[in-house]
Amino acid sequence: MDKVKRHSSVIWLGGVALLVLLAYVSAMLTADAKPVVLWTDALVYLLLLAITGFVLYARGREHYRDPWRQVLRSRLGMASLVILLAYVLVGLLDSVHFRLPAQAQEQSQEQHYSADVLSVLDLVLGPMREQEEKTYSAPFATHLYAKETVEGEDGQKMRVYPRLQFGGAHLQNPDEDWAEDIGSLGMQGALWGIGCWLLLVSLVVVRLSQLWQKSFSAALKDVVFGKSDVAWHVIFLTMGILFVLIAMIAVYAPKYHVLGTDKVGQDVLYQAIKSIRTGLVIGTLTTLIMLPFAVMLGIMAGYFKGWVDDVIQYLYTTLNSIPGVLLIAAAVLMMQVYMSNHPELFETETHRADLRLFFLCVILGITSWTGLARLLRGEALKLREMEFVQAAEAFGVSKFKIIQRHIQPNVMHLVLIAVVLDFSGLVLAEAVLSYVGVGVDPSMHSWGNLINGARLEMAREPIVWWSLLAAFIFMFVLVLAANLFSDAVRDAFDPRIRKQ
Amino acid sequence: MLAYITRRILYAIPILLGVNLITFVLFFVVNSPDDMARMHLGEKRVTPEAVQQWKVEHGYDKPLLFNDDEVGLGVVTETIFYQNSEKLFTFEFGLSDAGRDIAQDIGERMWPSLAIALPTFIIGLLVNITFALLVAFFRGSYLDVSAVVLCVVLMSISGLFYIIGGQWLVGKMLHLVPISGYETGSDAFKFIILPVIIGVIGGIGSGTRWYRTIFLEEINRDYVRTARSKGLGENVVLFKHVLKNAMIPILTGAVVVLPLLFMGSLIVESFFGIPGLGSYTIDAINSQDFAIVRSMVFLGSVLYIIGLTLTDISYTLVDPRIRLG
């Protein structure tokens, strides 16, 4: 059974990769577009490779597989994992960028490309991106938020709420048909979602019944009552909710603005979805950047002791004693000035915003590696006195080999726990930093920028609440899922908790 | 003890030097003083003479790290780095780039910051410990599980939403207190209460969860089992034995942040328009006032190191097993 399972995980990974690749290639071919690899894109791909490598490495080792099995059994852990994967999928789709050809000028031979860098996600969200209104409109609204002076048929000027260009434009008589239309579209979406979900569930259960060598109904029974090694019932339940929500949005999106529009008439839901990538990039790339330093320096300090320890301790005490926000603010400010002095370095606006995001990750990484390094130092101090390390030293194994073979594998669970725990904090930090004005580029979609823009609108009457709501929901769901998942991972990997 | 404190103070000097060097590199190497002068003078008035004059006025007219024109010690001392650092180490913050006395500004703005940060901290500590004790008392029950989940939910909400939500609810809906602003004297109370409440509520999630882990760790100790086997009731065990012993990690954890309370909170202060050190720093960041930001970084580092030293000392005070050597 294990062997089959092992193959199936590879097939899953391969399937997802193939899907993304296919979408990308087809987009390139149909639109004759020019692929663009941004800095953070490249790092996201690298991160994917690293995670795949880690999965392959951990798969054959029992001391990793056992805790992961516990994670797979945990109900909250699996529910949050499904949600996290949904976010990751959106983030990945948004990490494949290209530029469409510009409207061709006949004279020039050279192919020109539009300055807009798009991603596969933009194509998927097509109508949401393109259907821009004039200004604010409430969720599911058919009319603008503010009154405008319109010239009537008889030439008289009136103050009315004008109809939206796209939201509810298909309705002849919005006052009467609106509720009915919303209801029927919602039903339609829900049915689609449930249909797709049932199809997927039955396919997976068929596969499971083969694996478990049971009849379909017996396998279904096990799944429903949670009597399997993996908490399938929770996985399916979460997926069901996600499917229905996504299908409903997909049905509504071409006809309404599900979460309203902002000041310049852009769809708020589109902005919130685009922000997912920013949040994920900050949460993961920061860790990816700081991890090698934290692990290397932490272990070195603990293992070598003496002056190496002194130097490394000095380094992180110094960095730590600068108030974090101030260091980040100072670094971002300096980078901003540097970038505005060197505009020639950046091909498009997006490249500049992306580089700023990358630097923000680096800076956050510099300020956040100290905690992990200190933890690893303590652990390495303990490990170097253990018998197996002493024995290896007595046999004359080189110091490098000892670190690589004996110390590092014994601290990896700490690293894993730290990585997962840090993620949610970083996502939350992005919002705060953007508020202070030292976060991501103002032109980039991020929850922090969304909140920042919406905050000033709180004073309006009637209140413009939908941007805040959108940022709140998307952030809250991601951070909550990450917190719950990290709890499950910590419970499974921390030996102190496992014993109890 | 005295020898220990002296050693800690001596140890702080290289760290502060390092801090100073980092901020210096950030502010002067990435952006040359010429850039700064141009920014402060504005686009129109930029002439080489004006730039030079601005640099002389603010003491930025010397070389950055090494002065090749001087001989002997002057190579190091006649530089921007040395001149600025020397003043910082004697807590002479000098004038800000806008021409105000930084030390005086800090002295004035410290009090509003403290007025918000200290009550938030103390009330938050009491509330969190109370909740954590309650949860630990019912450990293993559904109350415990749901309380932990609730904590995680509260932790997952961005601090910005607590502030925005609180301002909207209390200030705009109920019209109980002003949304923002500050006054000195007894009027300050109505401006302070909302930020404090929001700060306490925002910290409940992570605080309660953290203290709960500390209590649960204590509850599994041997002395608790002994106390129980003597026939002591759960109340006595929890409040007399566990609480007292758990106070060691709680107190020492609290001491380290105590000095940093002076710095105030960037976000809370700027949302509520409180003229404290937090909003002072944000304003300085936005106007790119190098002198202020550098002073604040230095001050923050000093306070952090004081906090670390106080933590070590407080260990010996509350836990007689630990001796400082």
**Which chain B residues are Cβ-neighbours of A335 within 8 angstroms?**
30
Q: Which residue has the tokens 């409207």?
A: A103
From the list A321, A326, A329, the residue facing B305 with the nearest CB is A321
Q: Are A455 and B164 in contact (CB < 8 Å)?
A: yes
Asked if residue A462 has a cis previous peptide bond (ω within 30° of 0), the answer is yes
**Which chain A residues are Cβ-neighbours of B210 within 8 angstroms?**
none
Q: Are A476 and B285 in contact (CB < 8 Å)?
A: no
For residue B34, count other CB atoms closer than 10 A to its CB.
15
**Which chain A residues are Cβ-neighbours of B155 within 8 angstroms?**
424, 479, 483
From the list A323, A463, A483, the residue facing B152 with the nearest CB is A483
Can you tell me the distance from the alpha carbon of B266 to that of B276, in angstroms, rounded to the nearest whole number? 9
For residue A256, count other CB atoms closer than 10 A to its CB.
29
pLDDT tens per residue across all 500 residues of chain A = 444 455 555 666 677 777 767 776 776 666 667 777 888 888 888 888 888 888 888 887 887 888 888 888 888 899 999 999 999 999 988 888 888 776 655 555 566 677 778 887 887 787 777 777 777 788 887 777 777 777 766 777 777 777 777 777 777 777 777 788 888 888 988 999 999 999 998 898 888 888 888 888 888 888 888 788 888 888 999 999 999 999 888 888 888 888 888 888 788 889 899 999 999 999 999 988 889 989 999 999 999 888 999 999 899 888 888 888 888 887 887 787 777 777 777 777 888 888 889 989 998 998 888 889 989 999 999 898 889 999 999 999 998 899 988 898 888 888 888 888 889 889 998 888 887 778 888 888 899 888 888 877 776 767 778 888 999 999 999 999 999 998 888 888 877 766 54
Q: Are B155 and A475 in contact (CB < 8 Å)?
A: no
Q: What is the full DSSP assignment across A170-205? A: T-SSHHHHHHHHHHHHHHHHHHHHHHHHHHHHHHHH
Local structure of residue B246 (DSSP, 8 states): H
**Helices vs strands, H then E, count in chain A:** 19, 5
- Closest Cα of chain A to B157: distance in Å? 6
For residue A431, count other CB atoms closer than 10 A to its CB.
26
**The predicted structure's pLDDT at residue A242:** 92
Contacts of B236 (CB under 8 A, 6+ apart): B227
Chain A with chain B: Cβ pairs closer than 8 A: 116
- Closest Cα of chain A to B71: distance in Å? 31
**The predicted structure's pLDDT at residue A1:** 42
Residue A426: closest C-alpha in chain B: B158
Q: Which of B3-17, B164-178, B229-243 has the lowest mean pLDDT?
A: B164-178
Q: Are B30 and A335 in contact (CB < 8 Å)?
A: yes
The percentage of residues in chain B with a pLDDT greater than 90, rounded to a whole number, is 8
**Which chain A residues are Cβ-neighbours of B32 within 8 angstroms?**
none
**The predicted structure's pLDDT at residue B120:** 92
- Closest Cα of chain B to A497: distance in Å? 10
Express each pLDDT in B153-209 by its tens digit: 999 998 888 988 888 888 777 777 777 777 776 777 778 888 898 999 988 998 898
The CATH number assigned to the domain with range A268-499 reads: 1.10.3720.10
Contacts of B121 (CB under 8 A, 6+ apart): B254, B257, B258, B261
Q: Strands (DSSP E) along B112-270, which ranges?
A: none
From the list A338, A431, A484, the residue facing B160 with the nearest CB is A431
**Which chain A residues are Cβ-neighbours of B31 within 8 angstroms?**
334, 337-338
Closest Cα to residue B283, out of B119, B105, B154?
Answer: B105
The percentage of residues in chain B with a pLDDT greater than 70, rounded to a whole number, is 89
Hey, of B158, B206, B279, B285, which one would you mutate to test binding to chain A, going by the most A CBs within 10 A of its CB? B158
- Closest Cα of chain B to A393: distance in Å? 31
Are β-strands A157-160 and A148-151 bridged in parallel, bridged antiparallel, or unpaired?
A: antiparallel
**The predicted structure's pLDDT at residue A485:** 92
Sign of CA dihedral B242, B248, B251, B254: negative
Express each pLDDT in B237-256 by its tens digit: 888 888 888 888 888 788 88
Can you tell me the distance from the alpha carbon of B123 to that of B128, in angstroms, rounded to the nearest whole number? 8
**The predicted structure's pLDDT at residue A254:** 81
Can you tell me the distance from the alpha carbon of A100 to that of A105, in angstroms, rounded to the nearest whole number? 14
**The predicted structure's pLDDT at residue A119:** 81
Local structure of residue B238 (DSSP, 8 states): I
Tell me how far CA of residue A134 lies from CA of A22, A122, A161, in angstroms.
36, 21, 12
Sign of CA dihedral A151, A155, A157, A158: negative
Distance of CA B6 to the CA centre of its chain: 24
Q: Are B152 and A487 in contact (CB < 8 Å)?
A: yes
From the list A322, A335, A337, the residue facing B297 with the nearest CB is A322
Do residues A447 and A440 lie in contact, with contact meaning Cβ atoms separated by under 8 Å? no
Q: Which residues of A touch B (CB under 8 A)?
A: 314, 317-323, 325-327, 329-331, 333-335, 337-338, 341, 424, 428, 431-432, 435-438, 447, 451, 455, 458, 463, 468, 472, 475-476, 479-480, 483-484, 487, 500
Can you tell me the distance from the alpha carbon of A284 to that of A441, in angstroms, rounded to the nearest whole number? 18
Can you tell me the distance from the alpha carbon of A255 to that of A174, in angstroms, rounded to the nearest whole number? 13
ipTM summary value: 0.84
Sign of CA dihedral B311, B312, B316, B317: negative
Residue A267, SS3 per DSSP:
strand
Does the pLDDT value for residue B35 go beyond 80? Answer: no
Can you tell me the distance from the alpha carbon of A227 to that of B35, in angstroms, rounded to the nearest whole number? 68
Q: Where are the domains of chain A?
A: 188-251, 268-499
From the list A428, A436, A458, the residue facing B158 with the nearest CB is A428
**The predicted structure's pLDDT at residue B259:** 79
From the list A314, A321, A435, the residue facing B160 with the nearest CB is A435
Sign of CA dihedral B300, B303, B308, B314: negative
Do residues A448 and A427 lie in contact, with contact meaning Cβ atoms separated by under 8 Å? no
Confidence of residue B260 (pLDDT cuts 50, 70, 90): confident
Long-range contacts of A168-175 (CB under 8 A, 24+ apart): A168/A140, A168/A141, A168/A142, A168/A255, A168/A256, A169/A142, A169/A255, A170/A255, A171/A142, A174/A142, A174/A143
Q: Are B304 and A483 in contact (CB < 8 Å)?
A: no
Q: Which residue has the tokens 């086997």?
A: B229
Q: Are A337 and B168 in contact (CB < 8 Å)?
A: no
For residue B261, count other CB atoms closer than 10 A to its CB.
18
- Closest Cα of chain A to B70: distance in Å? 30
Confidence of residue B289 (pLDDT cuts 50, 70, 90): confident
Local structure of residue A110 (DSSP, 8 states): S
Q: What is the full DSSP assignment across B263-320? A: G--HHHHHHHT--SHHHHHHHHHHTT-HHHHHHHHHHHHHHHHHHHHHHHHHHHHH-T
Sign of CA dihedral A232, A238, A239, A241: positive
Local structure of residue A343 (DSSP, 8 states): G
- State the average pLDDT over residues B260-282: 82
Contacts of B174 (CB under 8 A, 6+ apart): none
Residue A371, SS3 per DSSP:
helix
> At B43, which helix (H) or strand (E)?
none
Q: Are A330 and B293 in contact (CB < 8 Å)?
A: yes
Q: Are B152 and A484 in contact (CB < 8 Å)?
A: yes
Angle, CA of A209, A212 and A215, to the nearest 5°: 40
**Which chain B residues are Cβ-neighbours of A326 within 8 angstroms?**
281, 293, 296-297, 300
Residue B155: closest C-alpha in chain A: A480
From the list B168, B286, B301, the residue facing A322 with the nearest CB is B301
Residue A37, SS3 per DSSP:
coil
Residue A318: closest C-alpha in chain B: B15
**Which chain A residues are Cβ-neighbours of B164 within 8 angstroms?**
451, 455, 458, 468
From the list B156, B286, B304, the residue facing A480 with the nearest CB is B156
- Closest Cα of chain A to B256: distance in Å? 11
From the list A321, A334, A451, the residue facing B19 with the nearest CB is A321
Residue A322: closest C-alpha in chain B: B301
Q: What would you report as the CA-atom Rg of chain B, rounded to the nearest whole angstrom?
A: 25
